A = this chain, B = another copy of it.
């Protein structure tokens, strides 16, 4: 840390929702990161013209809101479409000719939990490799304190969310005051892995889980920058496309 960065807003990484209470959420923009696959799917649906994505915690809530709004209901539990819902968590299920103009109600466990925990933030946006540049541009333009919040896996630190946090830190750190070892760790891991994210991820625990379900294609997409470069922004409990700055 050099003195010259101290007047800048802070940029921190929170590796698990179970650590979020240690951070000053109220005075920060929080980026919700759930790379495999919730936040990758959310930006993809919005990029492909979905009117909005409503994130909910439970399958029952998903079914109810879906009925009320005549919306698409989606969510998985243990790698399968949850009972009572129509679609899953794969970004490939939401091409433009299916999702355009529609509302998607999505239930996820890790990502939605973190989103509710961060409700007092200045602003909540979602981040993933498919919208990496949009997230970075937005954070730099806002000039506020930032917490990169990894959704993790049942509160356990995971590699894919850490790598995405590292990608953001790597790109925008010069605009911020970064005094956070989690950010240092994430950035270091990303810089080491960036030339072959897919190869690196093959050592990770979630890769093992998803690969068992034959989801390598999803994983490759979810690790590729800027395939759906929009910025999902939370407004009144709904994720909508932010006007780009």
Contacts and interface: CB of A to CB of B under 8 A. Distances in A.
Nearest to A16: B19
B192 A157 contact: no
B154 A181 contact: no
A185 B208 contact: no
A206 interface: yes
Interface string A132-162: 0000000000000000000001111111001
B22 A156 contact: yes
Copies in the complex: 2
Contacts of A180: 156, 205
A181 B204 contact: yes
Contact of A206 (B19, B181, B188): B181
B185 A155 contact: no
Given A18-B22, A19-B16, A192-B192, A157 B179 contact: no
A179 B16 CA distance: 17
Contacts of A153: 181
Contact of A154 (B22, B159, B192): B22
Contact of A159 (B18, B155, B158, B185): B185
Contacts of A181: 153, 156-159, 162, 204-206
23 contacts: A1-B205, A1-B208, A15-B15, A15-B157, A18-B18, A19-B155, A19-B156, A19-B157, A22-B155, A22-B156, A153-B181, A158-B181, A162-B181, A162-B185, A179-B205, A180-B205, A181-B204, A181-B206, A184-B204, A184-B205, A188-B189, A189-B189, A192-B192
